[in-house]
Every structure is written in structure tokens, then in C-alpha cells.
Structure 1
Amino acid sequence: MSKLNKQFTLILFLICIASAFYINFNIPATWVESQLRYQTYTDAEGNWMYRAAGKTIAIDNIVAYQDSELSQQALDKLSGAPSIKQQWVSLPTDANITAEEVAANLVLLKADFHFGIWSLLPAFIAIVLCLLTREPLVALASGIVVGAIMLGQFDILNLVLIPTIGTTNAASILILYLWLLGGLMGIWAKTGAAQAFADYMSLHYVKGPRSAKVVTWFLGIIFFQGGTMSTVLVGTTVKPLADKAGVSHEELSYVVDSTASPVASLIAFNAWPAYIQGFLFIPGVAFLATESDRIAFFFASVPLSFYAIFAIIGTLLLSLNITTFSGPLLKRANLRASTTGELDAPNASPIAAKELHSAQSAPGYKAHVLEFILPLVSLILVAIVSHFVMGSPQIHWAFASALLLSIIIALYKGIGLSAVLDGFGNGLKGVVVASVILMLALTIGMLSKQLGGGIYLVESLGAQIPFWCLPVILQLMTMLIAFSTGTSWGTYAIAFPLALPLAWTIAQTQGLAHPELYLMVCFATVLNGSVYGDQCSPISDTTILSSMTTGCDLMDHVKSQIIPATYAATLAALCWTLTVVFFA
């Protein structure tokens, strides 16, 4: 980085710090009512209950909406924060309504706040510094400092970092990505199992860069669970064979990342429909009344997921070496790898240690291809079986079974315990930086959610928007929210409960002939816009893991992927607009 660039970066950071202090002391928070809807019912004793996260919970102290401290009218009169965080309320209704209508009018009120456009400042500084410095640790830490100051949490270590590290999500990251994934990759490097797999695939199936990328694309389609599991599984599997075939790391990480969440939203036989349906209830809309209705609505909307369709087609074209729609950076990476054999750009700094991606077999030990395939099969089987038995794939169990099986095979073949421990230790070292980046990304995502940037963006919309504009506005809004927070599922929780009622109101007030189709289009724009933002964000876990498992520089992956992803998003926006104009 040049001296001028360093000076500009420092000045920008100081300006953001000063702005954060100004916001904390001078900008009052705007409080906004949030309504959360759950499946509510009465038990045998007549007590109200609701289901959330697979649990049945009693509802106590239901009050009338107009009497709640968390109603928007009451929040507008507050000079500070409300005294309660959430409250069950009964929405105003007619006197003569059925029991089902009573249940539909019970909502959980919560109060969230934002600082207007300032709420986007932490994500803004983190993303800009990522682009300027190419140092994600520095960029994420800077965003965390700015966000903590805005919230008045000046003891950043005790009030921000330690509480985040102590959460279940953080523990999950450390166990899965530091111990299990790092250990597995370390064992494979130590035994040479990954290299044996690459040699086998190169001998029988992979004859060059194109076939290696096609295999990667095909595995991305097969592993349609989406999110971190698909990214890690595909990236870890194809890395050795793609390196041997001479595939640039930018191309490889793009194919891995763009066949994770886009595929999961299309081949949705996974956890996505069950999670998302909880946000789709709209009062008075009969075809969204029950959980099964909302899941059916999800699947009916799949053909309208134009971004996911174009993203997957784009990765297939690149895999076939058709780079017309790949953008200049991926074209350059393709040319560099084919002419010079260099898989990384000259100034690249991969976030996974090099020793993970090169064989360091113990003396006299010869690995067999099954030492790679059997743990992989174990991983997939445990994930699939646990998904059907427990309702969701137990990713930790899956990776733990693969790691344990790899260790047992290595010990059985006589590698020696000290060599196994050495490989395991090297694996941990290789993913430490990536794990820290994931932790910081989790922290800044939590800060961004607390600051209410997504709520501010959604609140800025009005019901007077022309119907044909709304799908693209929702797409752009969710793209920005997910890009700023690094999470698609978090964006769904913010956007769906606000966007879909708005879409239904516009469909009714502007007299659309096919309001259900219009609602399906708006649903698809939120679903796909969030996937785009998550996929392209440098603070997203899937983006970081795609870079780590493929050995790519994080910012090289971000900058090269965002161009073809934007092509796909632009085509999708055109398709959604034409659909509502001609068919809604």
C-alpha cells in the first residue's frame, strides 16, 4: 500500500472515530416497533402457547396493543429507551371473530432503534478499509471500534468482544472451523490423503482446468444444503485437484461461493424453507395462514429466483472456460493461471497457511485415495442422516466423524501418534487467522444489527411506491443490508416481516390483477437480494470460508466475484420488473 493510500486510510478512520463519538453524544436514537408472529394456540387448560425454534413456550401477560409501551405511538413519545424489551399484545379486532382470528392477532412486540443513515457507518468503514488495505483483520477491528463507540460501549474488550466470544455462535465457529476443519485439513496434509485424491482424480477424471472447474460446479449442485457447510465441503474437496489442474484461486473460490447459497435457495430441500416461513405471515392473507401454506408458497416462488438461476449459470459458463460474462478480474486470473501457472495474483495474501495446501507426508507413509474419500463419505452421511432424524444437519458431528475416521485410518496404517498430533497442530495453525476473521465478522454483524441499519433502510420505504418499482427497490435494499451485515438469514429476519406486508398493501391499493404473483416476485427479490449481499460481502462467513478453503486472497475473491454476481443481479432485476409489469 502506497504512502498516500496509508495516509488517506488513517484520515478516514479518524474521521469515522470522531463521527462515532458525535453520534453517541449528540444523535438521539429513533425507536421503531417490530412485530414478530409465531404459531399461537391454546392448550387443554386454555393457556396461550407459541412455538419457536422447535420449543413450546407459554405466553404470559397479554395486553391490548394500544396499551403497550412498545407500540409505535408510545415509542414516539419516549425520550429514552423503553423499560421493557418485548411484550405480547393483541392487535385491534372486531368484536365477533373466530378463535383462529384471535390467534392470528397475537403478536410479540419488540422495540428496535437506529441512528438513521449513521447506523451503516461501522459496516461502511469495515468494507472500505478491506478494499483499501486488503487487511480484513484491521478493517473488521476498525468497524468494531466505530460501532462500539456509537453504542457507548467504550470498554470494547469487556462489553463487546468477550460477550461475543462467549456466545454459542462464537463457540461453534471455534470448534468447527478451528479444531475440526483445521484438524481435518492438517491430517490430510500430513498423510498426503488430499494429494492422493488429487492424483487419482487427475488420472481418471480431471484432465485440465476446465474439467476441474466442472467437477467443482457439479459438487456445488450436489451439496445443496447451502451456507458454510456447502462452502467448506466443496472447497476442501476440490482444492487439491484444482491446484493440480492449474485452476486460479479466484476462479475456484468464485465457483465454490456462487454454488452455495444460490443452489440452496433453488434446491430448497434443506433448512431454508422451515426458517424463512416464520417471517411470511400477513394478516388476512389466507394462502399464508399456516406453516404448510407458507412452505408451499416458498417452493412455488422458486422459479422466480432469477438471481440464483443466473448466478449458477454464470459459474457453469466460467467452468466451461466461457469467460464472456465473468468480468475482467476473473478473465485475468484465468489467463494468468493458463500462461504462467501462477494460481494467485502477485500481491495475494491467502488467509489459510500454505502448509495446509501442500503434502507433508510422514517419512515412509504412502496415502491411499480412500483416506480422503471415506472421511468425506462419513461427513456427508452423518450430515444427511442427522438432518432427517433431528430436523437439521449436525455439522459438528459430521466434521468430527470425518476427523476421527482420518485419525483412526492413519494410526492403523502406522503413521505414529506424534505425526498425527503434528499434523493436527499444523492444521490449527493454518486456520487461526481465518477463525479470528470469522469471529470479528460475527462481532461486527451483531453490532450492525444492534445499530439498526437494516431497519432504517426498510423504514425508509413508503406505501406510495409505484408497484413496478418495488421489486427492484426490495432487491437493492436487501443487497445493501446483507452486504453490510454479512448475513442473508439475518437480513431475512429484518426484511421479510416488513417488505411482504408492504408488497401486499401496494398490490391491493393499486388494483393488481394477480396480487399473489406480485407477492411471490417480491418474496423472490428479498430472498435473492440477501443471497447476493451475503455472497459478495467481505465480512460474510461464506465469503471468508470460500477464500480459506480454496487458498484465495480474501479481497481478490471479493473483487473478482462481485462483477459477475452484479451481472446476474442486473439481469434478475430486469426479469422481476418485466414479470410484474406484464403478468401481475
Structure 2
Amino acid sequence: MMEEITALSLLPPVLALVMIIVTRKVLLSLGVGIVIGALILNDWSFPEAIFLIWEVFAAIFIVDGALNDWELFIILFLFLLGMMAALISFSGGSRAFGEWALKRVKTRVGAQLTTLLFGILVFIDDYFNSLIVGQVSSPVTDRHYISREKLAYIVDSSAAPICVIAPLSSWGAYIITIIADILGTHGIQEVSGLQAFVMMIPMNFYAVTALLFLFLIIIWKIEIGPMKTFEEAALQGKGILTEKNTPGENFEMETKGKVSHLIVPILTLVISTVFFMVYTGAQNADNITLLSVFAETDVARSLLYGGSIGFIVALFLTLKNKPSFRETGQTLVSGLQSMLPAIYILIFAWLMVAIIDELGTGTYLAHFIDGTLPLFILPVILFVLAGFMAFSTGTSWGTFAILLPIAGEVAAVLDITMLLPLLASVLAGSIFGDHASPISDTTILSATGAGCHPIDHVMTQLPYALLSAVAAMGGYLMIGLTSSVLIGLGAAIAITIIIALSAKVRMTQQEKIV
């Protein structure tokens, strides 16, 4: 097995990412990366590499003879969600909701802003957000001929950025726990983990710039890069899931669907999931507080329980119209099949993340941070490093766990007053890397919830994420130079607006030429 962590640990993720972009074949690319990583770990012994891959795959579901329920529950939830979506479509609920919304949401801008608002409101968890917002919003965005790729971008860019700045979310609770440990390690008692987290919200420049840029993109009707192609196709009725190819729609019943066929199951799912998140958190917490409950909540189990109840309600409402057994069965199978591609990719992504963890890729990248770098540039360096680490490993949470303590140590050695800005830059960079990575589970789930191919989602979202990252880097450079959060935030916002205005002017000029 590999004993020393070297630059070779970067080969599997980089190779997989390059192959994904070049070939657009996600499973093949991830598979090559997994095999190369396993070969490196086993001194290029093929039999041992295959055995390691099997061990890692088995560990996704079973660890030390016990069921590893997190990944299994996520897969089961996806199957339930697929069947529920198919039933809603089969019963005519999607069409009815689309027609109802079309009378109230009059424009494409309105449909996108509605999706953005819903994404902000569902701040409890990014998995939950990514899957639910896309499912609920698609009937509205489809009616206004908005591409599923644009929907995925709106969903993804309003999920993690809002979760990472919301204290009462699974993300917030996790981050606050890490921050509290860092403060305790360095003897800082003036502020608690929660207080520090709240103080860091305006310092999380990427979350701010990503949300602001998304808002400006919508209201100024700006399309950048490959997204423009997909949006033009959608306006011609291509690239969106219409009545003819939505799961379950091929077997739509003659009975006219009702809005309640969509609203009731989705509301049931949301309310049930939130209830079980609170319930499981309260069960696991030593002292029951809002923060401790969300810190200890079992997200996967809550999604499974909430999804089960939502599916049962959707099935009940469908069966009330007395469809044939054959059509109902075909609809359920169609719903299951619609989730298979996403599940295959998700399993391969989990395998890749596990192999990368064994290789120590994140640890190798973390070694680039030390006390020899100039203090003013550290926020930018940490942002870039966290972004690359999350991009390469596909996990922002893993990046938090590795880089936040290192950022705390660097601040303690050089200038403790820079502690919170440095921690915030790690959080922001991790979200950026997560947005840009095709092996990130939230990227895959956002595409799944919106109903588009993951690689199309990555390639269309990437230009927006990069431009938001540039604006955030400008903010971190200013905070490093001035030590002023207000100046850094102002710079990040100003750069975001300038970039959006420039894109708007360029787009207008191109339209005039055409």
C-alpha cells in the first residue's frame, strides 16, 4: 500500500475530471480514475487493486458487519422520489400545477425568481434543497421554456450558498462544531462557535457573490457560455421535459389532474422530512437546543422517512382515480428507471471520493499552506486551495474538516485577528469547488432534481461559478490588504455587479450584430 503522500495522489481526480470534460462519459471517466487510484495504492498490482475497489464498494453499504445506512438511505430516497415524481405526472398533477402557475407567474424572469426564492427558503439541508426545489419548480420553468440546465444552475447555486450561511441547517451545525473546537484549541473564549459563525456570514464572499450573480443573471436575462445554447434550444421546445417524455406521462390518466396531486405529496414530503430531521436530532443530542438538534440530525434517515410518507400520499391520490394495475405498475417502473443513471454516477462518485481519501489528496494539498506566505495574500490562497481541494475530492465537508483547523493554526501563529476571515475563505472556497466539481454529490443531485445530465449541468454552471469566484477573490484580497470586512464585502459585491453589467453589455452588442 502507498505509504508516502505525493503529487501522484492528484493523478486519479485530475485524470477523471479531464476525461469527463473531453469524453462527456461520466461513468467511464470515474471508473478510470478509481482504477488508477487503486493501482497507485497497491503498487500497481492489478489483482490487489480490484480487491481494494470491491472492499471500498462493499463499505458503501456495510462497515464492520453493520449496515452503513447513509448511502443506502440516499439511494432508497432517490428511488422513492423518482416513483413519486412519476405518480404526480401520471395523475396529471405536474400539468395542472404548470397551468395553475402559468396564470400567476407570467414571465420567464418570474419563474426563475420563484425558483430562487424557493431555494433560499429551503435552507435546512443541501441534499434536500437540491432534489426538492428542482422537482417542484420544473412544471413552472417548463411552461416558460426554461432549460433544465438553467433550472439546475438556479437550484445548485441557491442550495449550498444558503446552507453554508444558515446557522440552523445541517451545514451550519457541522461548521459551528468545527469552529468551536478551533476556538477552544487556541484559547479564544470571547466568542462562541455560534457567534463566530454569525460574524463570518458577511465574510463568506463566494456565497454572497454566487447568490447575487444568480439574481442579476435572472433579472438582466444574461446567458453565458454553453448555457446560451441550451436556453435557445429550450425556447424552441427542445431540451425540457415536456408532457411527452416526463416519467409517467406516457401513461397519463384520462381523469383531469389537480394541483393538489402535486402540492399535497410535496408538502407532505417537506413537512415529514423536517419533522424527522428535528426528531432524529433530538434523539441523538445530549442537550436539546436548536443548534444541537441540527448538529446531530440524521439527514439520510430523515429523507428516507419523509420520502416514504410522500410516496404513500402520492400513491393514494393516484389510486383514488382508479387507474389500471398495469398502468400504475408501468409508471412506478418508469420512476425507478428515471433515477438509475443518477444512482450509478453517485455510487461511482462515492467510490472515487473514498479512493481519493485513501490517497491523501486533501492532505497533500493542505501542505501548501504554511507561515512563510505573506499575510495579506492568505485569504485568497486559502480560497483557491479550498476550491481546488473540494473540486478534486468532490466534498466540501471533507475540505472543511482538513483546512479549517490548518487555517486556524496559521492565524494563531501570524495574526489571530485574521482568524475569522481565514476560516471564512476556506468555507467560501469549498463551496466554489463543490459547485465546479462533476464528482460532487450535490452537483449530481442538483442535476437529478432538475432533470438534466450531470455533465451538462457542470459545463453550463462552471462559467457562472468561475466569475463568482473571481469576485470573491477580489473581496478576499481587499480584506487581506485592509483587514476590513466592510471593504472586502463591498469589493466583492462591486466586482460581481461589474462582471454582470459587462456580460449584459456584451450580450446586447452580440444581439445587435445578429
TM category (shorter chain) comes to 0.7 to 0.9
Question: 1:29 aligned to 2:29?
Answer: no
Within 2, Cα distance between the matches of 1:249 and 1:364?
Answer: 27
SS of equivalent residue, structure 1 residue 386: helix
Q: Which of 196, 199, 203 matches 2:96?
A: 196
Shift of 1:542: 1.4
Please identify the structure whose Cα radius of gyration is greater: 1
Tell me the secondary structure at the aligned position of residue 329 of structure 2: helix
- Counterpart residue type for residue 330 of structure 1: M
Deviation readout 1:475-501 (Å, 9 max, x if unpaired): 111111111111111111111122211
**1:372 to partner: Cα distance:** 0.4
Gaps spanning 5+ residues in structure 1: where?
A: 1-23, 31-113, 345-349, 508-514
Greater relative contact order structure (CA < 8 Å, 6+ sep): 2
Aligned-residue CA RMSD in angstroms? 2.3
Structure 1 partner of 2:285 = none
Q: Deviations over 1:433-476 (max 9, x none)?
A: 11010011011011111111110111222211111111111111
Q: Name the one with the larger helix percent.
A: 2
Judging changes above 3 Å, is the alpha-carbon distance between structure 1 residues 288 and 171 closer, same or farther for their aligned structure 2 residues? farther
Cα 1:469–1:379 shift into 2, 3 Å:
same
Structure 2 residue aligned with 1:73:
none
Q: 1:553 to 1:482 in 2, by over 3 A?
A: same
Q: Is 1:395 aligned to 2:326, yes or no?
A: no
* Aligned pairs, number: 453
Match of 1:320 in 2: 219
- Structure 1 consecutive aligned stretches of length 4 or more whose deviation exceeds 6 Å: none
Residue in 2 that maps onto 1:447: 355
Instruction: Pick from 251, 258, 269 the counterpart of residue 368 of structure 1.
Output: 258
Which sits farther off after the overlay, 275-284 or 539-548?
Answer: 275-284
Aligned with 1:120 (options 2, 10, 21): 10
Aligned twin of 2:54: 158
SS at match of 2:375: coil
User: 5 Å matches for 1:253-268?
Assistant: 253-268=152-167
1:103 equivalent in structure 2: none
1:51 aligned partner: none
- Whether the 8 Å contact between 2:16 and 2:33 is mirrored in structure 1 is yes
- Tell me which residue corresponds to 2:186: 285
Q: Are the equivalent residues in 2 in contact too, given 1:191–1:360 (CA < 8 A)?
A: no
Q: Is the 8 A contact 1:240 1:357 kept in 2?
A: no
Pick from 466, 469, 475: which aligns with 1:566? Answer: 466
Q: Does 1:271 align with 2:170?
A: yes
How much does 1:426 deviate?
Answer: 0.8
Question: How far apart in 2 are the matches of 1:433 and 1:482?
Answer: 23
Structure 1 CA distance for aligned equivalents of residues 244 and 59 of structure 2: 32
Aligned ranges for residues 532-551 of structure 1 at < 5 Å? 532-551=432-451
TM-score calculated relative to the size of structure 1:
0.73
Conservation of the 8 A alpha-carbon contact between 2:34 and 2:351: yes
- Superposed CA deviations along residues 488-529 of structure 1, whole A, max 9, x for unmatched, are 11111111122211122121xxxxxxx33x111111111111
- Output aligned runs, 1:173-252, within 5 Å: 173-177=74-78, 179-203=79-103, 205-252=104-151
Q: CA deviation at 1:386?
A: 2.6
Q: Is the 8 A contact 1:190 1:419 kept in 2?
A: no
How far residue 332 of structure 1 moved from its aligned partner, in angstroms, is 3.6
Task: Measure how far apart 1:185 and its partner are.
Answer: 1.6
Match of 1:502 in 2: 410
Q: Deviations over 1:229-267 (max 9, x none)?
A: 100010111112211210022211111110000011223
Q: Distance in 2 between matches of 1:29 and 1:322?
A: 52
Q: Which runs of 5+ in 2 are unaligned?
A: 43-47, 63-67, 282-292, 485-514
Q: 1:341 aligns with which of 219, 223, 237?
A: 237
8 Å CA contact 1:246–1:343 kept in 2: the answer is no
Residue 472 of structure 1 corresponds to 380
Q: Identify the residue that residue 284 of structure 2 maps to in structure 1.
A: none
Please say if residues 35 and 50 of structure 2, whose CA atoms lie closer than 8 Å, have aligned partners that are also in contact.
Answer: no
Asked if residue 132 in structure 1 is aligned to residue 22 in structure 2, the reply is yes
Query: In 2, are the aligned partners of 1:195 and 1:240 still within 8 Å (CA)?
Result: yes
Tell me the CA shift for residue 184 of structure 1: 1.1
User: Partner of 1:15 in structure 2?
Assistant: none
Answer yes or no: is the 8 Å Cα contact 2:118–2:133 preserved in 1.
yes
- How far 1:357 sits from its partner (Å)? 4.8
